[in-house]
Structure 1
Amino acid sequence: MSEHYDCTNPEGRSYGIAAAAAAVRRGEVVVLPTDTVYGVGCDAFDAGAVASVLAAKGRGRDMPPPVLIPTARTAQGLATEVPDYAQRLMERFWPGPLTVVLKAHTSLHWDLGETNGTVALRVPDHEIALELLGEIGPMAVTSANTTGDPAARTAAEARAMLGESVAVYLEAGPVAQGDPSTIVDCTGAAPVTLRLGAIPQADIDAVASPAADEEPAPVAEAPADEATSDAGSDTTVDATSDGAAEGPVPTP
């Protein structure tokens, strides 16, 4: 039976994170809060658990989940050929609602799905998510909802959709933002926005530009009615949900 922890108080948070970490180590699936929407995830290096995440959402291997990481430094061990503009984006927007798609190290022993040799990475700006990631390491996390349904803004909403397919639910109250992360393909000479989310295109352009090295551009808030956008790319990305995270890539 699924366990549900109220992480809005210190005791519940402590027990919840411990239970979630134990579940992930057993190869099970958990729901956790992020700074964008609630995510459903598992150990990124456990192929069976990744398959369980996709099955819970009703998705196939053609929509692989992104990977949430605890720090930007973790990206060095997962991605290769990181362009200067991608480094600028990560420095400015991490932790935060930016997912960057990069070329994955070929030596990695994982199976996220049909990634075309890429990995989508994000450092969430949420204490509970970061604490769990600090315990576990990289997690494959996508939005906590079934295909076609709105992304969950609470663990209770996620449980109504995902039910017993999830071992542990961490409830931290409604997410403050509710918008998915902006996804940017950084595998080429110039950035390509695959999905507009919490970070507006103007801010992506300002930071990714070489001129950003000389004078940092101000970061504007995303309009509440900002539309989702998909740009053409060979990179496999689930641009319908967040991350969660905001990798190759369905989303928080």
Structure 2
Amino acid sequence: MVPLDCADRAGRARSISTAASAARRGDIVLVPTESSYALATDAFSVRGVRSIRWAKGQPSSVPLPVMVPSVMTVGGIAVGIPDQARDLMTAFWPGGLTLLLAPQPTLAWDLPPNAPIAVRMPLHPVLLELLDATGPLVVTGANAAGMSPPLTVDEAVGQLGEAWTVALDAGPLGDHPVSTVVDASAGASSPLVVRRIGAVSLEDLRAICPHMQDDDIR
């Protein structure tokens, strides 16, 4: 495992270039998000996605989140996106909002068939710069089952060993809330449904989409 320091801008540019090359090859990269360190790889790499599942001990039936560099990218990976979902993207991206969307049926990727994809544009600057260089990445927490999300590279190593080729080290991360999850996968004719409340409150969501339904079990 190669740890790459992202503390200064010059070093960060070199580190992100190295990490982008690794992700495009289908290697696993350890990345910082707003709330924890996570495993990432090219969303369209079958080898990369299967490697993440193996590292996490997850079956292929478990959906993996996809992160994108911009709102415009979403149209290439999802279909039937409701206007209200686009309004939420405009209001809360980049940031702590995950949208469940219907995937493009023509895409070749190793994600569960006939299941929505969880899509988010993150706020962490290092991860955003990496996404700008790579396009969509599968990104999921670098924690073992039942363990707390790691806030440092060392904590991630302690939980999963060195399952990645490259680690983007942004230092200790703050303890931020998980993202809010809104289901928009049923299409324009169905209401949006909150599946989990996290970083974005229900009040803030309803300020954009007044008829948002709440299905979160708190």
TM-score normalised according to structure 1 size:
0.79
The reply on whether 1:204 has 2:205 as its aligned counterpart is: yes
From 163, 172, 175, the equivalent of 1:174 is: 172
Closer, same or farther: CA 160–11 of 1 in aligned 2, 3 Å:
farther
Q: Where do 5+ consecutive residues of structure 2 fail to align?
A: none
Q: Secondary structure at the match of 2:75?
A: helix
Q: After the TM superposition, which residues 6-155 of structure 1 pair with which residues of structure 2 at under 5 Å, given as runs?
A: 6-112=5-111, 114-155=112-153
- On the 8 A contact 1:159/1:169 being kept in 2, the answer is no
Seq. identity, %: 39
AA aligned to 1:25 is R
**Could you list the per-position Cα deviations for residues 91-124 of structure 1 after superposition, in whole angstroms to 9, with x for gaps in the alignment?**
1000001110111111111112x25242211100
- On the 8 A contact 2:191/2:211 being kept in 1, the answer is no
AA aligned to 2:203 is A
| Equivalent-residue separation in structure 2 for 1:64 and 1:203 (angstroms) | 27
Offset at residue 207 of structure 1 (A): 1.6
AA aligned to 1:173 is G
Match of 1:219 in 2: none
| Equivalent-residue separation in structure 2 for 1:123 and 1:230 (angstroms) | 25
Match of 1:248 in 2: none
Q: Secondary structure at the match of 1:41?
A: strand
Which has the larger strand fraction? 2
- On the 8 A contact 1:154/1:174 being kept in 2, the answer is yes
Q: Secondary structure at the match of 1:22?
A: helix
Offset at residue 192 of structure 1 (A): 1.6
Q: Secondary structure at the match of 1:99?
A: strand
| Equivalent-residue separation in structure 2 for 1:22 and 1:172 (angstroms) | 19
The reply on whether 1:158 has 2:159 as its aligned counterpart is: no
AA aligned to 1:23 is A
Question: How many residues are paired up?
Answer: 212
AA aligned to 2:45 is D
| Equivalent-residue separation in structure 1 for 2:10 and 2:159 (angstroms) | 27
Offset at residue 62 of structure 1 (A): 2.1
AA aligned to 2:159 is M
AA aligned to 2:125 is E
AA aligned to 1:195 is R
| Equivalent-residue separation in structure 2 for 1:180 and 1:126 (angstroms) | 13
AA aligned to 1:106 is P
| Equivalent-residue separation in structure 1 for 2:113 and 2:16 (angstroms) | 29
Match of 1:240 in 2: none
**Could you list the per-position Cα deviations for residues 116-139 of structure 1 after superposition, in whole angstroms to 9, with x for gaps in the alignment?**
242211100121111111111100
- On the 8 A contact 1:193/1:230 being kept in 2, the answer is no
Q: After the TM superposition, which residues 189-228 of structure 1 pair with which residues of structure 2 at under 5 Å, given as runs?
A: 189-209=190-210
- On the 8 A contact 1:96/1:124 being kept in 2, the answer is yes
Offset at residue 77 of structure 1 (A): 0.9
Offset at residue 210 of structure 1 (A): 6.5
**Could you list the per-position Cα deviations for residues 181-205 of structure 1 after superposition, in whole angstroms to 9, with x for gaps in the alignment?**
1111112311222222111222222
- On the 8 A contact 1:64/1:115 being kept in 2, the answer is no
- On the 8 A contact 2:39/2:140 being kept in 1, the answer is yes
